[in-house]
Amino acid sequence: MVYAWASDPNLRKRGESGGAITALLKFALEEGIVDAVLGVKRGLDLYDARPVLITDPQDVEETAGSIHGGTLLLSKLFGKYLAGAEGFKVAAVMKGCDVMGTIEQAKRGMVNIDNLLLIGLNCGGSIAPSMMRRMISEVFGVDPGTVEEETIHKGRFHITVGGEHRAVRIPELEKGGYGRRDNCRRCKMKVPRGADLACGNWGVREELVGEATFVEVCSERGRDLVERAKAAGAIGVGVPDGACIKARKRREDLIVNLSDEEQKKDFALLEGSSDRMSFIVEETARCIKCYACIEVCPALFNTTGPYMTAFPGIIPPGIEFHLTRYAHVAESCINCGQCEELCPMDIPNARIMHAIAADLQELHGYRAGEDMSRPKIALMKDPKPASTSPPAEDLLQLGKG
């Protein structure tokens, strides 16, 4: 475990906590350790998180900073648009759900994980852009369009407007019905140790807050990157003391315990088999069969074929449409929330699937998204392989633009 920061003062300033991640990514590209970087940058405004593939080290800087209204899941981008990272190496910056989703996609042969360098971000949770706007307007009484910066620190959501700084405690926001996405509240993957590095601001010594990130090295590949970047002078590195390591662990344990509570609350309506079935029948009756929940799910392949044939043309579809999806995802659900977030009919898809998967995982002693072990029930064979990705050379060319 180390503290790290960018040596370049500009990256240090632009980064969320000292810019170590940006410096590591730039170094990895410059040294040819990877051919491309997959990061997230601010789009039209601070509520617009955009995934970006970068091949020019000078462009990495534009991804510096954390976007807490960024509710994207990056894992399916490899299979859909990046030729499964076959034939080129990519460094990708990922929250816990991104890492878990990528591991599930790798198990299904949708991405070559050996070609990925995963820079994990600790994540207490993200906020849907629409919710963030509403919260800023109703809680802070501020026009969301005028906010210059947003950040989350020490359990508080902070905004800067007209150079002035304001903050509200996240538990207060959540009591008022604002705050993180439901799946984030339930999530227990707060430190993504399935990545090569897990980086975050928890455990950073008071005088270094905002100036350094706490890096847990989780693999030899991660260690190699940190050591080479340090030796080349791209990053500065310090050693955290025992008190800081303990403080970080306390924060992690605290939020994981809170997630247990949130799971209990969210799963209460889905407790017994008949309650669960009634809830599913009632909620999915709104379904318009747009397939968004299937297309985004990292535990499924990039095909909607098998689901299209379930009750073709019938809206709402029969319950079998959803039962098929539940059976195919089964214990592989990583609670990324995408199937709920993107559902145009506001069906609590992730809550339902997470409750089912949690029971199956307990039954089979299986943990989705944590390692490459295979599930016992979920669909693991692509029912209709179809890659629409352009070849790797074209992608790298595109990344230059």
Ligand X SMILES: Cc1cc2nc3c(=O)[nH]c(=O)nc-3n(C[C@H](O)[C@H](O)[C@H](O)COP(=O)(O)OP(=O)(O)OC[C@H]3O[C@@H](n4cnc5c(N)ncnc54)[C@H](O)[C@@H]3O)c2cc1C
Question: Which spans of this chain sit near ligand X (rule: CB under 6 A)?
Answer: 15-22, 39-40, 49, 63-68, 70, 93, 95, 121-124, 126, 152, 199-202, 213
Strand order in the sheet with 235-238: 49-54, 36-42, 90-94, 116-121, 197-200, 213-217, 2-6, 235-238
Count interface residues toward ligand SF4 (CB under 6 A): 26
Closest to ligand SF4 by CB, 118 vs 352, is: 352
Q: Does 2 bind ligand SF4 (CB under 6 A)?
A: no
Strands 90-94, 116-121: pairing is parallel
Closest to ligand SF4 by CB, 16 vs 283, is: 283
Site for ligand SF4 in 272-291 (CB under 6 A): 287-291
Beta strands in 44-128 (DSSP E): 49-54, 90-94, 116-121
Closest to ligand SF4 by CB, 3 vs 307, is: 307
345 binds, among ligand SF4, ligand X, none (CB under 5 to 8 A by kind): ligand SF4
As a whole number of angstroms, the distance between CA 55 and CA 141 comes to 41
Beta strands in 234-369 (DSSP E): 235-238
Q: What kind and span of H or E run contains 324?
A: helix 319-329
Q: Does 194 bind ligand SF4 (CB under 6 A)?
A: no
The minimum distance between CB 300 and ligand SF4, in angstroms, equals: 7
Which of these segments, 30-38, 226-234, 346-354, 389-397, binds ligand SF4 (CB under 6 A)? Answer: 346-354
Is the bond preceding 348 in cis, omega lying within 30 degrees of 0? Answer: no
Q: Which two tokens stand for residue 376?
A: 């016992």
Count of beta carbons in the 10 Å neighbourhood of residue 254: 12
Q: Does 310 bind ligand SF4 (CB under 6 A)?
A: no
The minimum distance between CB 131 and ligand SF4, in angstroms, equals: 18
298 binds, among ligand X, ligand SF4, none (CB under 5 to 8 A by kind): ligand SF4
Three-state DSSP class for residue 70 = coil
* Amino acid (one-letter) located at 261: E
Closest to ligand X by CB, 202 vs 267, is: 202
Q: Does 334 bind ligand SF4 (CB under 6 A)?
A: yes
Binder to ligand SF4 among 124, 204, 338, 399 (CB under 6 A)? 338
CB 380 within 8 A of CB 329: no
**% helix, strand, coil for the chain, step of 5:** 45, 15, 40
Residue whose token pair is 């207060």: 172
Closest to ligand SF4 by CB, 190 vs 289, is: 289
The interface mask with ligand SF4, positions 314-333, x = CB under 6 A, is: ---------------x---x
The minimum distance between CB 39 and ligand X, in angstroms, equals: 3
Residue whose token pair is 């020019």: 56
The minimum distance between CB 329 and ligand SF4, in angstroms, equals: 5
Residue whose token pair is 């003391």: 241
184 binds, among ligand SF4, ligand X, none (CB under 5 to 8 A by kind): none
* Amino acid (one-letter) located at 349: N
As a whole number of angstroms, the distance between CA 286 and CA 322 comes to 12
263 binds, among ligand X, ligand SF4, none (CB under 5 to 8 A by kind): none
Residue whose token pair is 């977030």: 341
Residues lying near ligand SF4 in the complex (CB under 6 A): 287-293, 296-299, 329, 333-339, 343-345, 347, 349-350, 353
